[in-house]
Amino acid sequence: MKRVTLLFTLIVFLCISMLYAQDKPIPPSIIKTGVYHGVSAALKDLPVLTDEEYQQLVIKGEKKMLNRKLKERHYPYASTSLPQGPDPVWQQEMGKTMSAKATEINISGQTSPYYPPDANGSVGPNHYMQTINTVYTIYNKTTGALVAGPTNLNQLFSGVTGSEYNDGDPICLYDEQADRWVVAEFSISGTNDYMLIAVSTTNDPTGTWHKYSFDVADMPDYEKFGIWRDGYYMGTNNSSGNDIYVFQRSQMLNGLTAQMVGFNNAWRPTTIDGFMCVPPLDNDGPFAPEGAPGLFVTINDDAIGGGSDELWIYELAVNWTTPSSSTFNRVQQLTVPAFDSNFGANWNNIKQLNTTMELDAIPMVIMNVPQYRNFGTYQTIVCCHTVDVDNTDHAGIRWYELRKTSGSWTLRQSGTYAPDAHSRWMGSIALNGNAQLGLGYSISSSTMYPGIRYCGQSSSAYNAGNGVLDITEEVIQNATSSQTAYNRWGDYASISIDPTNDNTFWFTTQYGGSRQTKIASFSFAPPPLTAEFSGTPTTVCAGSQVTFTDQSLGTPTSWSWTFEGGTPSASNIQNPVVTYTTPGTYDVSLTVGDGSGNSVETKVDYITVTSITANFSGSPTTVITGN
């Protein structure tokens, strides 16, 4: 009996322990209202940076040397970490599928006065906007011509609290669903720390912008932004906590008073004084389903945080009506093939030609910008980070595609791209509407100056989910010098997808020895024209609507739908909405054309329409008085 009792007690204890070990949503640690500072002057009318102003920035940058306090890295579990040998998903050969086009637009971006440049940017309907520490420029995306700037970024934020410092770490994104632009930078030199955020008033970034300041809890270092249906989400490197934020997008788009909700992330996979930013997912294409919480993702290297090599996924559910009821939670720890982010305790990681100076690999974080896409019947996440493929400071880019049809996220494919002896790092990856992956990155070694290249995955390899970047590597920029003055490199780089065709990739990053940057666009051979679609929802009550989303591959220019039992019964628009009034099961057919051919997809009994029938039960139906 004692043994049984003891066993029972142990089982109860273990059950209780497991219960309390589960992650539980946490409430906000900070709720504030931002300050609206009105509308900016048109950016095309702001003064261009003078040579004297640029030299002042250079002097300021040399004094500041951003993020000195984060110089040491710690790997407390290195002796037991995996892998003990080469990277298990190491792609050691370049892809052999040829790109249909060479680089399309390839223009010189800005030369940064700072180490690191923090080069990033985004493409919109007609423009490309680039930000660096601490300047913006805007280009005509068709010709590459400069149409605004280079101008000090704080000119955009003129009159905003904290803008006088022009502190940097800028971010630029295009909000596709709103057809607007978003720019942010931090202000950390005054009494309080602020995030300065601006939203364009139209889709023309050279025009006017709504200006905001948000008083955040502490230095919002290395901030990363993502656009989501219900907010502009942000993750920062903040060792004292309060590192996760969301800002009220709907209000900011209209120049109205906007709230901010922040959280102290209880699940940061790093040593207590280590560098760690948990970035939000940026939603490309159609939005996530209504009510879906904002997503964040990061890596757990077992050499740093113990456990196993994983991707950690988080959800932020914001409630703008009652902000205090908003929640943040780590919802999944997804095991991935073992990886090694240990390049040593400092920033001397990547070799260069003709110098002993080595460059920072920034190996401890997911690179800018992790991407989310909603394809109707499934959702995807793609992201990447830098790893050492063979324990010799030989850098490669580990990338992942996650997929979700229902329930939890699963790892669909992953790989580590390091096809020769050169190091590749500072990657940025995205998935376009043709089911093709594009990856841009820096490249360097003891026999090569640090340049810029890209590669990708074809739609056939993507559909196979084989973890191979099969599209041949191409050069964006070869360099003629190495960076010898300092080891900080890049910090930011970014790839974005042209919203006008959901196909072309645009990439910007640093190269060479003088903090120069490039902006380049590229695309791959389109896949064969293939009709595909989804409907949401596929089971409805009579009188309800179904939204159909075209997911065809190739480059369709015409759409012809037929909807059995639906109103309308036919449509020629790309993404129609159809009402079903009579119970039954119905076929849906889509024919797409590209001017030279057609493709047809018919889904039999795809839509189920049910009648509304009132029904209930009670149990028990006979009770004793008082019960």
Show the tokens assigned to 373.
């896409």
Q: How confident is the model at residue 275 (pLDDT cuts 50, 70, 90)?
A: confident
Predicted confidence at residue 620, as pLDDT, reads 79
- Give, for 600, the enclosing helix (H) or strand (E): strand 598-610
Q: What is the pLDDT of residues 233-249, one digit of tens each?
A: 999 998 767 899 999 99
CA dist 144 and 298 (Å) reads 35
Dump the DSSP string for 169-223: EEEEEEETTTTEEEEEEEE-SSSS-EEEEEEESSS-TTS-EEEEEEE-SS--EEE
Q: What is the pLDDT of residues 367-424, one digit of tens each?
A: 999 999 999 989 999 999 999 999 999 999 999 999 999 999 999 999 999 999 999 9
According to DSSP, the residues that pair with 517 across neighbouring strands are 510
Q: Is the pLDDT assigned to residue 74 strictly greater than 90?
A: no
Calculate mean pLDDT across residues 280-308. 96
Predicted confidence at residue 10, as pLDDT, reads 37
Q: What is the pLDDT of residues 423-452, one digit of tens each?
A: 999 999 999 999 999 999 999 999 999 999
Q: Is the pLDDT assigned to residue 1 strictly greater than 80?
A: no
Predicted confidence at residue 504, as pLDDT, reads 96
Q: Is the pLDDT assigned to residue 70 strictly greater than 70?
A: no
Q: What is the pLDDT of residues 40-54, one digit of tens each?
A: 999 999 999 999 988
DSSP 289: P
Q: Is the pLDDT assigned to residue 614 strictly greater than 70?
A: no
Q: How confident is the model at residue 517 (pLDDT cuts 50, 70, 90)?
A: very high
Predicted confidence at residue 57, as pLDDT, reads 86
Predicted confidence at residue 276, as pLDDT, reads 87
Average confidence score pLDDT of the chain: 92
* Other Cβ atoms within 10 Å of 248 Cβ, number: 22
Predicted confidence at residue 12, as pLDDT, reads 35
Q: Is the pLDDT assigned to residue 613 strictly greater than 70?
A: no
Q: What is the pLDDT of residues 148-160, one digit of tens each?
A: 999 999 999 999 9
Q: Is the pLDDT assigned to residue 9 strictly greater than 60?
A: no
Q: Which of 88-92, 221-225, 407-411, 619-623 has the lowest mean pLDDT?
A: 619-623
- Give, for 9, the enclosing helix (H) or strand (E): helix 2-21
Predicted confidence at residue 101, as pLDDT, reads 65
Predicted confidence at residue 219, as pLDDT, reads 87
